[in-house]
Structures are given as structure tokens and as C-alpha cells.
Structure 1
């Protein structure tokens, strides 16, 4: 189920909030944060050894067992969690789950699941028994209906002094074995086969009583099932079919009664099942959140979480109102344009590595600064992607690459513009564009109850359809046709290229593809320029991003304007300087930045910056050439698209003849061919458009290593989870708890020693 956080942020800044409470208020704090529904809990750093020990945590085992038991119950009851979506429950009608703590809650839920599982097991046992009895009676009825034809009666059965009379059913595949086993020359008998049920046959057989042992040995070879000849079904006159029908009717009624009872249990408890399922989901979420608490030196608990800055005061007031003097709250505002570090709350101690007479300030080395950079809170702060409804669907494509970090620009609006354009240039056709537009609209309507990403993909197809539609006019293509568009011999309209048909002027489209590639790459560096500027690294914005834009643009003008004639490059007005000057600037500007005391370049040496600049300049020149060449696929796929449609139309026109029937055959062939192109080549074009954005565009500037804002929230659509409020502990109780904590710590240390010994022995 999707999270319910819907409130829009007025600002994009977050604050880190640190809440300190006593252990007995832990559960209540998590429930309160869930009700706030605007809190992103910060994940606690856990040592690797601790993670391995936590895998054997009894609580995790209980939660795992809880999920397995619930899934098994739903599987037995044939309940799908999607069935709960139609439930509309008032808050006062939602079942309440009251507990002292998480362990107590899990125990209650396990008891409920066990109760319903036992009810189902008992009912299912009765249902299975009735099904078996009913199937058995149906076989008896089928067999006795046939035996009635041979005038079988109670008297005729009792008169068989020297022969046994028995009836069996077996699988149809055993028919040949049956004939071989009861060949008269091998075993004296008389049998007759008659129709059974579905894949089974039935037969009756007479054989001598003194051959009983031999008969039993033979009949076992075909895995048959005997139909009993019961006197209660036989009268002096013949077979008592009415009694058999009566027993079948009774079993049918009993089976229906049990099944109705099972369905009644499901129906009247559907809300309870929905509540249990929701509570189990909440427990899984809750368990993760509970493990993010840290212990202080005074054995109190600390939880750190990010909140929108504009809601900071509101959340603080709410927590103080709920917990009064039982909570301590600290906050740190995290700005996007400057590093923010968390204050060290640990007790002071001996600082290792401090030389005699050296102060802490003097000992701060480059390694320490690098560590601070690593602990910049912006690296852990979640990101809220805020885009208009027009651009929002393209967030799905961006998330495939990664979430924007807290301090960088969200490139979704740029992708929302360039993605459909590149798609349209490779898939330009008015008719195909219309098909994609209609398909996208139908997808948004039909799939409106599906996941957000599924709906977004429908909107992306819709936008790409419009791009293909408009580019189709530039190419003059309508379902692969151009010029006069005929339908059943009538000219509907004419379509001609507004710009150029790629098949007729390949070089024009080639140059255009190169220009599009240069523009797209420069757009990536422009976004990088904006990121540097936003992060107050204006020197890097000019010496890195801007110089690269000049280098690529100068190289493009040099090649497209002056060709590959080196003599022309080095004669007046010396066009080669369009690339040489930006290249040299890329080499020397960063070292100059250190000389000019640019703060964020001071950690590197001049030699390191020169080496970095040389490598970066060399890499930029090589990568740019391959990047621009990659955009030639715009031409290649546009040509392939038009050529495929031309081939399909040519094959359709191979159907010779006149008349309405021939026109219908051609129409069907054209529809089928166009659908194949739309599906297969449409997918290929879509993937290539993604590739151009992932490798050529985003790779130039985008980190994509951010964390999406995911508010801690416990669903309450079908249930209410309530923890009893804790009370203040007296001094003796607290001392006893400390003794238990010491004992628990010793046990954890012992487990850690055992783990290390086992791992590295």
C-alpha cells in the first residue's frame, strides 16, 4: 500500500531532529511519529558483526514466523490482500489491537492467526471427508446403474456359491494391462468393462472362489479401486438407486453447509483479516524503526529523524505536548548550498594521535577534513522530488538511474522535454503517434488503480506519442505512407514532409543528429554548472562545466564549419583555437584556483590538480567524440522505422486484384504489420532514448545517489494499533534494569567473540 504522505513542502530544506527519551516511552514515540506522517527516520550505522548477530535475533524470528503463518492462512482461505481494497471502513469500526509492547502485540496476532487456522483446518477436514464420500457415492451410482442392466439383485448375489462377483474402477491407461492379466486361458474369469468417470473405467468380474489369492495378486498390478457390493443398495427386485441418490443428496447438502460456513467465516471476518494483514505490515515497518534507536551513556534512547524545516516547530510542539518533560529534542537545519555537520554528543576522552603540546585545532589534518566531508549531513538527508503534474511521470525514468541527492538539481523537467523529443525523432510517424497517444490515454484510465510507476509509464507513452505525431509531419509519414493517402480507393488527404524525408536526404538528418547530440551534452554540463552555482562552487562552475561547453561547441563549429582540412585549421582566423584554448584552460584553471585560495581546492596539491586537469581534459576529448557519435542512432532508427513501414506497405500491395475483399485483406495486412512495428521498434526506440539519457546526458553531471523521502507511517485503513502508555520507573526498578542490561551486554560480547572465532578460526 502506498504511503499516505501527501502534504506539499513549501521549501526544500530539511532539519535533522534528535529526540531523547526513556525506554518505556519508545513505543509511544514511534506511534506518535507515525501519526505525524512527515518524519523520515535516519538509519543507524550498525557494525557488520552486529548485523550478523541481529540475524539470529529472536524478535526477527518471531516476525518472520508471523508473516509465514499469515501467508499460509490467506493461502488456505484463498484470500488475496488486493481483496481488501474494496473495503471502506469508518474509523470507529476498525478493530483495535492493544498491547504492552511489540512482543506482546506479536503474541496476540499469532494467537488470532492460530485460531482462524484451526477453524479452517477443522472445516477443511470435514469438507475433504464429504468430497471423498461424495466421489465414492458417485462411482457407486455409476457402477450400480450398469449392474441394474444385468439384473443384479440381493438374491442373485447370494446364489453365487462357487464364484465371486466384484466391481472395480481403474485408470483408462490400464485397459491393455487389464486385458492381458485376465486373459481366460491364463486365468478363468468373466469380466465386462463399462464407462466410468472422466479418465477412469469400471468393470465387473466373475472368478472361481478357489482362485481368490491369485486374483488378488493380479488385481493389485493395475492399481484398481473396488466398488463394494453392499446389501443396503440391493433389494429382491434389483438395485436400490433411490437410496444411493438419497445419500448423494445428503452428502451434497453437508458439503454445501460446510463450504457456506467457511465462506461465512471469511465474509464476517474480512475486516479482521484486513486488520491483521495491516498490523503485520506495520510490525515489519515498526521493527525496522525500533532498531534505529541508539543508547546514551545514561541508558536513555535517542532517535534521529529528518523533518521538513517548515514543519519543525509544529512537530516539536506536538512532541513536547505529548511527552512533556519526558523528552529532549535538538535540531539541526540542513542547507542545500553548504556543508552541515552533526555535533559530537559523545563524552570527551583522550584523543589518540595528538602529539605532546599540540592542540586539537592544530592536529586537524586533511584526513580529518575528508572524514568531515564524508559525514556531511547532506549525504544522508532525503530528497523530495517536486515537479509539476506534466513533468512528474518522468520521475519514474529518473529513479531507474537514481534519486537526486539533497544538494543537487532534480533533472526531471529536462528529461520530460528531451526524452519525448529524442523518441519522436527516431519514431516519427503521424499515424503511429496517434496510436501511442490513444494507447497512453487508455493506459491511464484502465491502469489507474495500479502502481504509480505503471500509471507514469502510460503518461510517458502519451507524451512520446505527441512527439512522434509532430515529427511525423516533419518527415511526411503516415503509417509509412506519404503523398496521397487512400482508403478503399478514395483519397482522404495528402501529406508531404515539412522538413525532409530521412530516406531522401540522409546527410541533412545526419548533421541534425550531431547538432542534437551536442546540444544534449551541453545541456548536461549546463545542469552541472547550475549545481556548482547552487552549491556555492562558482569557480568550478566556470572552470569545469562552462569550459567543457566551450570545448564541445568549439569542436563542433570547427568540424562542421571547416571540415577535416588541417591546413585550414591553422590558417587565419585560426579556427583550431576554438578547441585549443578551452583545452588549455581545462588544464590550468584548477591549479590557478589553489593559488587564488579557492577554499574547496586547498586540500589538493598543485601537482595533483595539474594531473587531474590533464587526465580530465584527455578523457573529455575522447569521451565527447564517442558521446556525439552515439546520437547517430537518431538517424539510424529513423531510417529503420521508415524502411520497415515501406517494406510492409510493399508486401501488402503484392496482393493483386480488385474489389472489397482484396481491399479488406490489404487493410488487415497493413494493420498487423504496423502493430508489429509499433510494438517491437517502439520498444527498441524507447530503450535507446533511455540509453542516450542514462549514458550520455545524466552521466555528465548526475550523481543519483540520493535517498527518497519516505515518511515513517503505520497504515491505519483497517486497524488501530495502540500501545499502553509507559510509566515512570522508580530508582530500584531502574537499577534492576541496569543489571539486566549489563548481563545482556555481556551476552552480546560473548556472541560476538563466538562469531569472530567461528568466522576467522
Structure 2
């Protein structure tokens, strides 16, 4: 699959489903079985509860899952037999049938369907005399969003984005980059090769659906495995294996010996991620509102220029380069001017608009600095994890030299201490990586909310159900 498709939602097609009114039920059964069409619902006079819906209410039973009968069943017999699942399926079918526009002997429904699924659905509908007709997208209406999720890792990574919100249909959907960034940040804060191996073991158990009571978490195994691998790699770089046990040499830096270097690296990494977030935000603003929106948006070209200018100015001050500082200040001023123009126009102008623009510009500049510094928590929690590991290891070695009884205590301290460090570190790293991704990165990439694609799907029972 091309990378451009991986980074965008599934392409949707506006469709009309036209069928003989006498074959409307058979058509809806095929649509429900295919599960790839979101049918527009029409609520109005005459569309109240009736038929299967009333019978289902009289049963006062909530079915675990709605089921449709391939052949039209006798609703009275279903009520007498207590078949709540079949009545629930018929009730859903009645609701969709009520949304059909009927003209003579023809009925029509409108909705959305993934473009790749449309040909197969049209072929199935032809068996009952139905036709799938492509329509133009109504002006001012965005199609619903369906995230691409190829493979188990893709599904896990897309959940990181959908947890934040529904991606607008026109925006890029950076599921894979978001997933990779999340795992890297997790590994930096949870850098211990031994603890990472435990996460890999946990991922294997989830993949095997063991223990059975955690089988519902099976879909998380790629994310847990990725976090474990990132932690192992970071632990090898730090020389940490269940703490500073000396099993692994330090390949990059020891967090407790070189905290400043770790802190600077975390902030620099955060600056790179913010630059990428501004680039993605610029693309999204362009897709949402065209070049003018992208130019003046604080998360578009204006914000990108402000961020780049401030970064160059800071680098010039650090390197004592006057030319770099001046160039950065000029770029930042241009970005600030563009952002201010956009904010002033959006505020409606006048004195109140001027005050509002000033406050928003101040907030934008402060947010850039605070968001950049916020990535220092990668180093802070990495240091905390390493410090806990060092305390546990020093206590273990001190007890190990105290005799046979003390040796048992040393082993107990090592096991319990690492269990506490593992649980606390994994919880903190998981939450903080998610927080950085949501508030520092996604807040620039996304400004609007889309509408999720909700296809109608009901399993179809092919066996005879009428007594």
C-alpha cells in the first residue's frame, strides 16, 4: 500500500441504493450482511415504533446481539418464542426501511460506502434487482472517517489517534508515525533491558490469549511488544538490566552519571517532534481551508515560522552567532505577524479584537516554550526509573554480603523492588508518553473533529426460524 494511502483515511463514496420496493427487505438484508454501508437515517412523522420494535419492547428482554433472518419471519411467532435477537434485527431493519424514499414501485436509500467496497456490494445487490448509484458529495458535508488499520500493529497504532478524537476526513491520519513516536518516548522513560524483556513476555502471553481472563486484551499485543522492544533498546543504550547490575555495558550514557546530556537530548528530540507536528498541521490546514487558512493558522505556516524563528534565535544565542540570531528573530517576527493577522480577522476586529489577538499571540509564544520544555519529562522519568533501579540494586548487593539469611532477603528485595519499579515505571511511562503525544503534538496536527464511519452490520441467520 502506498505511503500516501497509509497516512489518510479510507476514501469514501456517497451512494444511493435503488431497488424494487417489493425487494427492499432482501436488499437491506444484503446490506446488513455486508456491513460496509452507513445508511442515512430519516426521523419524522410516521417513523415511530411499530412491528418488531413494539414486540421487542413487550418481551422486556435485551438481546446480547441482534440477528437478522434471511427470510421474512413471522413476528408474532418470534414474540411467542422469545426470540429477542431476531426481533432486534427486524427492528433495526424496519428503522432503515422507514428511511427509504418510495416512488411508485421503487425505493431508494442514501448513505456512505468505502470506495473499495462499492463494486463488490453492487455485484451482490444485483442478485435482488438492486443498484448502487454513485452520488456527488453534498456541498458543505464531509464524508465520515474510517481509519486504515492494516494488520495488528496498524490497528493498535490507529487506536492512539482515535482515542484523541475522530480525524477529519480531509486530514492526514498519522497512525504509524504516532505509534512509533509513542513507543520511542515510552522506551526513553522505561529504559531497562530486563524490564523490556518482561514486556515482550507479556506481549507473547496476550498474543496467545493467556491467561484466558485477559483474552479481551489480545488486540494490545503489538503495542506491548513494541514498548518492550523500545525499552530493551533504551536499556542497552543506558547499560541497564534490572538496574545497574553490570550485565550490560553503557553504550550511550548512564542516566544518573550524565543527566544534563540526557535532558538536552530529550528537549532536542521534542523540538524535532514539534517541527514534524507543525508540518503535519500545515498540511491539514491546507486541506481543510486552502492556502489562506494554512498561511495564517497558528498551527500552520504562521506557527511553523514562529517556531522555526524562535529555535534559530535560541541556537544563535547559544552559539554566539549574531547572524543566526537576527535571522531567527526576523523569521519569528514574520510568523508572529501572520498569526496575528489571522487571529485579528477571526476575532472580528475592533478594540476587543485587538486585545483578544494580543492575548492569543502571547499564549502562542508561551505555549511553544512550555511545550518544548515539557519534553524534559522524558529525561526526568527516565532518571527516576534508573534511580529506583539503582536503589534496589545497591540494597540487594549490601544484603548479599550479610550471610545466608541475608542472601534470602537480598533475593526478596531484588524481586519485589524490581516488581515495584516495573509497575510504577510502566504506568508512568505509558501515561506520560500519551500525554506528550496528545497535548504537545496532536493539538497542532488536529484542530477540528471528524465524524466516525458507522456502517450498519447485523449477522444474518440462514436457517429456518418460523415455527
* Matching of residue 682 in structure 1 with residue 426 in structure 2: yes
Provide the residue aligned with 2:364 in structure 1: 620
Unaligned runs of 5+ in 2: 1-5
Alignment of 1:78-477 (within 5 A): 98-99=71-72, 104-105=74-75, 107-113=76-82, 276=83, 279=86, 282-283=89-90, 285-286=92-93, 288-290=95-97, 293-295=99-101, 302-316=108-122, 318-323=124-129, 330-334=133-137, 340-341=138-139, 376-378=140-142, 380-387=143-150, 389-446=152-209, 454-477=217-240
- The answer as to whether partners of 1:448 and 1:455 remain within 8 angstroms in 2 is no
What SS does the corresponding residue of 1:575 show, helix, strand or coil?
A: helix
TM-score by length of 1: 0.52
Provide the residue aligned with 1:530 in structure 2: 283
Task: Compute the displacement of 1:477 (Å).
Answer: 1.2
Task: Compute the displacement of 1:537 (Å).
Answer: 2.3
- The answer as to whether partners of 1:394 and 1:460 remain within 8 angstroms in 2 is yes
Shifted more, 681-690 versus 451-460: the winner is: 451-460
Note the alpha carbon deviations across 1:495-523, whole angstroms, 9 max, x for none. Answer: 33222222222222222221122222222
Distance change (3 Å), C-alpha of 1:446 and 1:617: same
Provide the residue aligned with 2:15 in structure 1: 17
CA separation in 2, counterparts of 1:475 and 1:98?
65
Task: Compute the displacement of 1:686 (Å).
Answer: 0.4
CA separation in 2, counterparts of 1:314 and 1:333?
20
What SS does the corresponding residue of 1:391 show, helix, strand or coil?
A: helix
What SS does the corresponding residue of 2:169 show, helix, strand or coil?
A: coil
Unaligned runs of 5+ in 1: 1-7, 72-80, 82-93, 114-275, 335-339, 342-375, 486-494, 593-600, 724-761
Task: Compute the displacement of 1:719 (Å).
Answer: 4.8
CA separation in 2, counterparts of 1:546 and 1:497?
41
CA separation in 2, counterparts of 1:560 and 1:95?
66
- The answer as to whether partners of 1:38 and 1:712 remain within 8 angstroms in 2 is yes
Provide the residue aligned with 2:251 in structure 1: 498
CA separation in 2, counterparts of 1:474 and 1:528?
33
Alignment of 1:742-757 (within 5 A): none
What SS does the corresponding residue of 2:135 show, helix, strand or coil?
A: strand
Note the alpha carbon deviations across 1:213-253, whole angstroms, 9 max, x for none. Answer: xxxxxxxxxxxxxxxxxxxxxxxxxxxxxxxxxxxxxxxxx
TM-score by length of 2: 0.81
Task: Compute the displacement of 1:98 (Å).
Answer: 4.4
Task: Compute the displacement of 1:30 (Å).
Answer: 1.0
- The answer as to whether partners of 1:587 and 1:614 remain within 8 angstroms in 2 is no
Distance change (3 Å), C-alpha of 1:702 and 1:419: same
Task: Compute the displacement of 1:548 (Å).
Answer: 2.1
Provide the residue aligned with 2:28 in structure 1: 30
Note the alpha carbon deviations across 1:531-568, whole angstroms, 9 max, x for none. Answer: 245558245445542342332233234335525x9xx7
Task: Compute the displacement of 1:387 (Å).
Answer: 4.1
Note the alpha carbon deviations across 1:353-386, whole angstroms, 9 max, x for none. Answer: xxxxxxxxxxxxxxxxxxxxxxx232x4342424
Task: Compute the displacement of 1:321 (Å).
Answer: 4.8
- The answer as to whether partners of 2:205 and 2:211 remain within 8 angstroms in 1 is no
Distance change (3 Å), C-alpha of 1:384 and 1:653: closer
What SS does the corresponding residue of 2:148 show, helix, strand or coil?
A: coil
**Number of aligned residue pairs:** 455
CA separation in 1, counterparts of 2:182 and 2:335?
32
What SS does the corresponding residue of 2:380 show, helix, strand or coil?
A: helix
Task: Compute the displacement of 1:446 (Å).
Answer: 1.9
Distance change (3 Å), C-alpha of 1:640 and 1:22: same
CA separation in 2, counterparts of 1:510 and 1:480?
20
Provide the residue aligned with 1:646 in structure 2: 390
Task: Compute the displacement of 1:655 (Å).
Answer: 2.9
Task: Compute the displacement of 1:691 (Å).
Answer: 0.8
Task: Compute the displacement of 1:27 (Å).
Answer: 2.2
CA separation in 1, counterparts of 2:85 and 2:334?
63
CA separation in 2, counterparts of 1:416 and 1:318?
37
Task: Compute the displacement of 1:453 (Å).
Answer: 7.5
CA separation in 2, counterparts of 1:435 and 1:457?
15
Decide which structure has the larger Cα Rg and report it.
1
CA separation in 2, counterparts of 1:298 and 1:317?
24
Q: Tell me which of 39, 42, 47 is aligned to 1:41.
A: 39
What SS does the corresponding residue of 2:325 show, helix, strand or coil?
A: coil
Distance change (3 Å), C-alpha of 1:32 and 1:699: same
What SS does the corresponding residue of 1:304 show, helix, strand or coil?
A: strand
What SS does the corresponding residue of 2:208 show, helix, strand or coil?
A: helix
CA separation in 1, counterparts of 2:296 and 2:214?
44
CA RMSD of aligned residues (A): 4.2
What SS does the corresponding residue of 1:651 show, helix, strand or coil?
A: helix
- The answer as to whether partners of 1:525 and 1:700 remain within 8 angstroms in 2 is yes
* Matching of residue 697 in structure 1 with residue 441 in structure 2: yes
- The answer as to whether partners of 1:387 and 1:412 remain within 8 angstroms in 2 is no
* Matching of residue 510 in structure 1 with residue 316 in structure 2: no
Provide the residue aligned with 1:362 in structure 2: none
